[in-house]
Chain A
Amino acid sequence: MNDYVDLAALWRVMVAALVGGVGIAALFSVGLVGISSGRVAARIAGGACFVLVIAGVLLGVYVMLDK
């Protein structure tokens, strides 16, 4: 950490925001592809993606409550 910016915190924010933000957008998209597919396996995989998205949302709510 220097005098003006907490580089360690900034680094964590950037990585976590990238992984979280891009990851959730991608998971949701793959979920949509899965459930719009005719195959059962793809639909199950799509559903699993949505479960992960919901887990991400719950993590977000936890962060809000934990601060």
Chain B
Amino acid sequence: MCEGMTADLVLLIVVVLTALSFDFTNGFHDTANAMATSIATGALRPKVAVALSAILNFVGAFLSLKVAATIANGIVDSGAITLTVVFAGLVGGLAWNLVTWYYGIPSSSSHALIGGVVGATLLASGVKAVKGEGLVSHVIIPAVLAPIAAIVVATIGTYLVYVLTRKVAENTRARGFRIGQIGSASLVSLAHGTNDAQKTMGIITLALIANGTITKNSGTPFWVILCSATAIAAGTYIGGWRVIRTLGKGLTDIETPQGFAAETSSATVILTSTHFGFPLSTTQVCTGSVIGAGLGKRLAEVRWGVAARMGVAWLITLPAAAFVGAVAFGAAQLIGGTLGVIVVFVAAVVFAALLYLASRKTAVNAGNVNDEWVGRGVPSRVGTPV
């Protein structure tokens, strides 16, 4: 019995560590959402931008504490969710986050996590445990609508911003929109903290309940809130420079008024969708806003090749993460017990380390993130690995 308890505890610890690792990658993957345009326009120095975003994500995590102890709610049958399924789903989401970071592609961490859980559930409980209708309504339709809504708002906003301020002195306009852009980007960062850190809190709380460590009614322990907030803030501060570069420099060349219009569009679309119960992916909204900012300024170029690459990545997020989630679950089951989960965890750590080492050969960092776009994510002047 004692051995069984120890194995359960080890499994719980591995799940919690994996959830916090996912939270960390969620942070550095999504720094770009709020700060890419501020960095690209020079409204904020790169290191200052990621520090500000990290602080706001940390604060945001404490602002909204109605934590739902769920994962992929409405998409997979809650009865099919075991600790191993949660773990394998997290590994699927993590792997997709890391691969897309390596290639500098903004993609939704939430959709990656859902994909991972769906894959693990398919293998664990079969097709009947996955709700196709939920998948379409919670993931596929919002993935199409999010960028469209943001493109429309940002295009009109950008057009108006340029038309209305055409007679304002250039330095006054640049200074004014610089301040506005910092404000709207801060709002996006804060919203990100309130949304995404909550997901990790929910997953860890769910794991604690499943393990019997806490009861359903005991609420989320403070250490869970603190650890989740710290992990997402640390990830944000590390800065996913590769993604920041693609969003800030790759899609279009952004000026301060465009950056302001893009961030204002992102903040309003995200907050209104939250308020009216139609949640949209922050990443997809922010990407759409940047495209809209390019379209709204006459003669500005949008690099549709880069946008198409992102679109393809969004299309395969769900199946790719599901595949990894299923493989992770299958491998853990094949080896069996807690040992299986530990082996998969170690394999995931090795994969992450190898990808990190590979990224150092073409390092993108605060020093070269704003270099001229040369048709690919990695600048001509490769940064010093840090």
Interface residues of A (CB under 8 A from B): 3-6, 9-10, 12-14, 16-18, 20-22, 24-26, 28-33, 36, 53, 57, 60-61, 63-67
Contact = CB atoms under 8 A, between A and B. Distances in A.
B272 interface: yes
B178 to A, nearest CB: 11
B173 to A, nearest CB: 6
Question: Which of B269, B274, B276 has the largest number of chain A CB atoms within 10 A?
Answer: B276
A29 B164 contact: yes
Contacts of B273: 13, 17
Interface of B: 60, 63-64, 66, 133, 136-137, 141, 145, 149, 152-154, 156-158, 160-161, 164-165, 167-169, 172-173, 176-177, 180, 183, 187, 190-191, 194, 260-261, 264-265, 267-269, 271-278, 280
A64 B65 CA distance: 11
Given A9-B276, A64-B274, A18 B153 contact: yes
B160 A64 contact: no
A20 B149 CA distance: 13
Contacts of B133: 3-4
Contact of A29 (B145, B161, B194, B268): B161
Contacts of B265: 17, 21, 25
Contact of B190 (A16, A17, A61): A61
Given A26-B157, A65-B63, 17 more contacts: A6-B278, A12-B276, A17-B265, A17-B268, A17-B273, A20-B272, A21-B265, A25-B261, A32-B173, A33-B164, A33-B168, A53-B180, A60-B271, A61-B190, A63-B271, A64-B60, A64-B194
Main DSSP-derived SS at the B contact region: helix
A38 B51 CA distance: 38
Nearest to B273: A13
B235 to A, nearest CB: 20
A12 B64 CA distance: 23
A64 B268 contact: no
Contacts of A64: 60, 63-64, 190-191, 194, 271, 274
Given A13-B149, A36-B169, A67-B194, A25 B161 contact: yes
Contacts, number: 129
A57 B152 contact: no
Contact of B264 (A5, A25, A36, A63): A25
A1 to B, nearest CB: 10
Contacts of B169: 36
Question: Which of A17, A24, A26 has the largest number of chain B CB atoms within 10 A?
Answer: A17
Question: Which of A21, A26, A64 has the largest number of chain B CB atoms within 10 A?
Answer: A21
Contacts of A24: 264, 268
Contacts of B168: 32-33, 36
B5 to A, nearest CB: 37
A25 B149 contact: no
Nearest to A3: B133
A26 B187 contact: no
B275 A18 contact: no
B141 A4 contact: yes
Contacts of B156: 18, 22
Which 7 A/B pairs are nearest by Cβ-Cβ distance? A21-B268, A25-B157, A29-B164, A21-B153, A20-B268, A9-B278, A16-B272
B105 to A, nearest CB: 25
A51 to B, nearest CB: 14
Contacts of A20: 268, 271-272
Given A32-B173, A57-B187, A60-B187, A16 B276 contact: yes
29 contacts: A5-B137, A6-B137, A9-B277, A13-B276, A17-B149, A17-B265, A17-B273, A18-B152, A20-B268, A20-B271, A21-B153, A21-B157, A21-B267, A22-B160, A25-B157, A25-B160, A25-B261, A25-B264, A28-B176, A28-B177, A28-B264, A29-B160, A30-B164, A32-B168, A32-B173, A33-B164, A33-B165, A33-B167, A36-B169
